């Protein structure tokens, strides 16, 4: 995003200002030049986002009433709160500024360190807190957040594993309810040499393709692939057809569930029709209509 601004103010202190602003995902910058009847000034600042939680900032002002340079950084400590420490050197002296931004409100605490510009003091006032921040960030804050994120990930994985186990059990229970009717339909289709689903697998796209070459589902992929032969035979009509409409997620079909949330999924169907063998694959939201001659092996 790139913006430019020109502003004219008329009155006892008339002035004209020209400004610009540029912002993207990682950085933002802005600047302004102002000329008035009794004053002039220019300012600019640049902010770089090191991550979603931390950023650095450089700013400067020069003019008839101001001359200062500012550098510092900040970190988001919660969803609505950000803290920032800035080092400022200007005509008023050397200052530390501590800022707290929370839900649109800002609290600024300036600490004037000195009005003298002793080179050693100016350097120390910048170097000491910067070094302290680096050490705390490297050896305390970052390891703490990494441990916390790891713990959250483990808890999330445990929770997801429990949910998947429950969903798999529910799908198996549904399949047991469908099985008697599914078998009757299957036997009826076999008697008329109609449509019989011999193998149907649903789950992780890659794992389903790998399992299509095997007679049985490998233990290594069993948690990511579900045998759905029973529910698909249940859905075969008396006319010997099976249709799954486009745009409907297949995990919502009775006897199905989503074994790998967030991953691309695939449905593999092998079937017999009029004594000939067929094979077809369909994406999770893709349409499926069988039998079709193009599926013949």
Number of folded domains that form the chain: 2
In a domain, 135, yes or no: no
Residue 217's pLDDT is what? 63
CA 186, distance to chain mean position in Å, is 44
Per-residue pLDDT tens digits of the chain, which is 297 residues long: 677 788 877 777 788 889 999 988 889 999 999 988 888 899 999 999 988 888 889 999 998 888 899 998 888 888 888 888 888 898 888 888 889 988 888 899 998 888 887 888 888 888 887 787 788 878 887 888 888 888 887 888 787 888 888 999 999 999 999 999 999 999 999 999 999 999 999 999 988 888 777 656 655 667 889 999 999 999 999 999 999 999 999 999 999 999 988 899 999 999 999 999 999 999 999 999 999 999 998
Question: Residue 78 in 3-state DSSP?
Answer: coil
Q: Give the other-Cβ count within 10 Å of 230's Cβ.
A: 21
In a domain, 206, yes or no: yes
CA 296, distance to chain mean position in Å, is 41
Quote the CA–CA distance of 267 and 290 in Å, as a whole number. 13
In a domain, 238, yes or no: yes
Per-residue tokens: 121: 């003091």
| 176 and 106, same domain (yes or no) | no
The residue among 86, 117, 148 that closes a domain is 117
Q: With b meaning 16 or more CB within 10 Å and e meaning fewer, what string describes 269-294?
A: bbbbbeeeebebbbebeeebebbeee
The range of the structural domain enclosing residue 25 comes to: 2-117
Question: Residue 48 in 3-state DSSP?
Answer: strand
| 168 and 107, same domain (yes or no) | no
Quote the CA–CA distance of 9 and 106 in Å, as a whole number. 28
| 73 and 192, same domain (yes or no) | no
What's the whole-model pTM score? 0.54
In a domain, 147, yes or no: no
What angle is formed at CA 112 by the lines to CA 44 and CA 57, rounded to 5 degrees? 30
| 168 and 75, same domain (yes or no) | no
Quote the CA–CA distance of 26 and 158 in Å, as a whole number. 33
Residue 220's pLDDT is what? 60
In a domain, 150, yes or no: no
Quote the CA–CA distance of 58 and 62 in Å, as a whole number. 14
The residues with which 31 forms a beta bridge, in sequence order, are 20, 44
| 284 and 169, same domain (yes or no) | yes
User: Backbone dihedral region of 226: left (phi > 0), alpha (psi from -120 to 50 degrees) or beta?
Assistant: beta
Residue bearing tokens 């049985």 = 216
In a domain, 80, yes or no: yes
The residue among 117, 147, 176 that closes a domain is 117
Quote the CA–CA distance of 94 and 87 in Å, as a whole number. 8
| 195 and 77, same domain (yes or no) | no
In a domain, 137, yes or no: no
Contacts of 89 (CB under 8 A, 6+ apart): 68, 69, 70, 95, 117, 122
Residue 36's pLDDT is what? 84
Peptide bond preceding 291 in cis form (omega within 30 of 0):
yes
Quote the CA–CA distance of 44 and 32 in Å, as a whole number. 6
| 34 and 94, same domain (yes or no) | yes
Quote the CA–CA distance of 131 and 86 in Å, as a whole number. 14
Residue 133, phi then psi, degrees to nearest 5: -65, -45
| 171 and 282, same domain (yes or no) | yes
Residue 75's pLDDT is what? 84
In a domain, 33, yes or no: yes
């Amino acid at each position: 995003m790139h913006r430019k601004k020109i502003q004219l103010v008329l009155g006892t202190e008339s002035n004209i200002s020209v400004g610009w602003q540029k912002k993207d995902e990682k950085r933002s910058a802005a600047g302004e030049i102002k000329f008035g009847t009794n004053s002039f000034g220019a300012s600019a600042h640049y902010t770089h986002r090191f991550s979603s939680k931390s950023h650095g900032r450089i700013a400067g002002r020069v003019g008839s009433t101001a001359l200062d340079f500012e550098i510092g950084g900040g970190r988001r400590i919660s969803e609505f709160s950000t803290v920032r420490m800035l080092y400022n050197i200007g005509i008023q002296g050397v200052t530390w500024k501590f800022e707290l931004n929370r839900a649109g409100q800002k609290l600024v605490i300036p600490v004037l360190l000195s009005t003298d510009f002793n080179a050693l003091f100016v350097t120390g006032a910048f170097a000491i807190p910067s070094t302290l921040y680096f050490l705390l960030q490297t050896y305390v804050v970052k390891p703490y957040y990494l441990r916390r994120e790891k713990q959250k990930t483990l808890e999330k994985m445990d929770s997801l594993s429990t949910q998947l186990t429950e969903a798999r059990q529910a799908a198996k229970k549904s399949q047991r309810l469908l099985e008697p009717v599914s078998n009757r339909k299957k036997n009826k289709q076999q008697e008329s040499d109609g449509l019989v689903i011999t193998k149907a697998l649903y789950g992780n796209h890659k794992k389903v393709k790998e399992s299509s070459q095997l007679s049985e589902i490998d233990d290594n992929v069993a948690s990511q692939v579900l045998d759905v032969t029973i529910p698909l035979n249940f859905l075969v009509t008396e006319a010997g057809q099976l249709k799954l409409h486009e745009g409907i997620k297949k995990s919502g079909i009775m006897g199905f569930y989503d074994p790998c949330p967030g991953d691309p999924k695939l449905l593999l169907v092998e079937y017999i029709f009029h004594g000939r063998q067929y094979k077809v694959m369909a994406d999770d939201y893709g349409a499926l209509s069988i039998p079709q001659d193009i599926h013949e092996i």
